[in-house]
Structure 1
Amino acid sequence: MDGSGYDVILWDWNGTLLDDSLYGLSIINSMLRRRGLPEPSREEHGRLFDFPVILYYERLGFDFEKEPFEVISHEFVDTYFQNVNSCVLREGTVEALGQIRDLGIRQSVLSASRQDNLERMISDYGLAGFFDELLGIDSIHAPGKSGRGCDWIRESGIDPARVLLIGDTMHDAEVAAEMGIDGWMIEGGHHPMNRLKETGCPCFSSLPKILQALAESRSKASPL
């Protein structure tokens, strides 16, 4: 569906609105360094990154026979929150959220972040007023983003055809498909443009480009 028909936009958080991909990679590389494992470049990270994150960790060489996945996952999350406030919002985030709100489109966040962590981050960055709902998950091990989204669709009663998910990974496209909604992809996060294009979803280089697409589609649908 074109942007004229969307009543709700679901935003991914990490890598989409919060520019934290390089910060997360720096933590991963410090963890790998302590274990004597190779450290991926940003390009390699973009090729290897995946959900569920256990697949990503396996590709990086973590040995779950020596250390359980839960231990490694907790190490990453604990380190991440020590200095996450050093990350900045993606360029144009506040302006984009404000303009979309002015278009009369409701906005929420759907994230693989744990619910309490998501709420704290949105508050810390001063964005709570833009969103109707913050949809996080109950486990830091990130198995349930699509399930959370599907539950929300079912419980809200919203027509899936009128909901758009915007994210920065191929997994976001998969989540949108499982929810039965449209997905738009934005580069500059965890997956590069060439991987995003493999999803078949519309792909954009920036938030202003997304705003332009939404505005143009609404303009075309408006009566003369």
Structure 2
Amino acid sequence: MRHIVWDWNGTLFHDIDAVVGATNAVFEPYGLGSYDADRFRAVYTRPIWAAYERMLGRALEDGEWERLDLGFHESYHQLMLECGLAADALSTLQSWERAGGKQSLLSMWAHERLVPKIAEFGIDHHFTRIDGLRSASGGHKAESMVAHLAALGVDPADVLVIGDSLDDAHAAQHVGARAVLYTGGMTSRADLMACGVPVVDTLENALDHA
């Protein structure tokens, strides 16, 4: 492998506490009790509205998803200010660079928020390209991965995707790249393992597959 495509939220950026905290904030009026990371991972699925229906034990009503999603993002963007990089993110980026590898970053988070946040941590110089979401709708990562690799001009056979979600693995498979999934995000280890790609507990261990 010569090129790593990193995910951001839940991978390099350790934001699970902000995700869980924001979820608890929007569901507080429902009296569900608060979630911790493990309990949240047990109900988490994509699309996220399906996870919300699991939590509520019923279908969402008209307009309810939009209200919950807006409230979640308002809380998340406050709580994420307290979040930092994953414990071994910086050392892993440096290690791969020293080994002569190239790396880029592809996220489904808003591009205009992503770029300054990465610069704030002083790690932007490690990436040959940074792409976030430039449209309103999230959708799946596969098409974004196609565009990202095309812009880089790299052969997917030379690419390892490192992320924390099944979406990352599916995006890698879609373009013919390999994937490693990291347990630091929102998806449970059991769900990650079921995907059939290597699963690691540290980012440093992910490099073993590069």
Taking structure 2 as the reference length, what is the TM-score of the superposition? 0.89
Number of matched pairs: 209
Identity level (%): 27
Runs of 4+ in 1 over 6 A off after TM superposition: none
Amino acid at match of 1:188: G
Residues 155 and 89 of structure 1, relative CA distance in 2, 3 Å threshold? closer
Kindly provide the CA deviation profile for residues 85-125 of structure 1, in whole angstroms up to 9, marking residues without a partner as x: 21121111111101111112111111110111111211122
CA distance in 1, matches of 2:149, 2:118: 22
Deviation (angstroms), 1:68: 4.2
1:162-201 superposed matches below 5 A: 162-201=158-197
CA distance in 1, matches of 2:143, 2:23: 26
Taking structure 1 as the reference length, what is the TM-score of the superposition? 0.84
Kindly provide the CA deviation profile for residues 113-167 of structure 1, in whole angstroms up to 9, marking residues without a partner as x: 0111111211122211111111111245521422211222344442111111001
Amino acid at match of 1:82: Q
1:29 to 20, 24, 29: 24
What is the aligned partner in structure 1 of residue 2 from structure 2? 7
CA distance in 2, matches of 1:155, 1:130: 17
CA distance in 1, matches of 2:159, 2:176: 9
1:1-224 superposed matches below 5 A: 6-61=1-56, 64-139=60-135, 141-214=137-210
Kindly provide the CA deviation profile for residues 43-95 of structure 1, in whole angstroms up to 9, marking residues without a partner as x: 23212222332322332228642534333222212221123121121111111
CA distance in 2, matches of 1:50, 1:179: 23
CA distance in 1, matches of 2:23, 2:87: 24
- Where structure 1 has 5 or more consecutive residues not aligned to the other structure, the ranges are 1-5, 215-224
Moved more, 72-81 or 149-158: 149-158
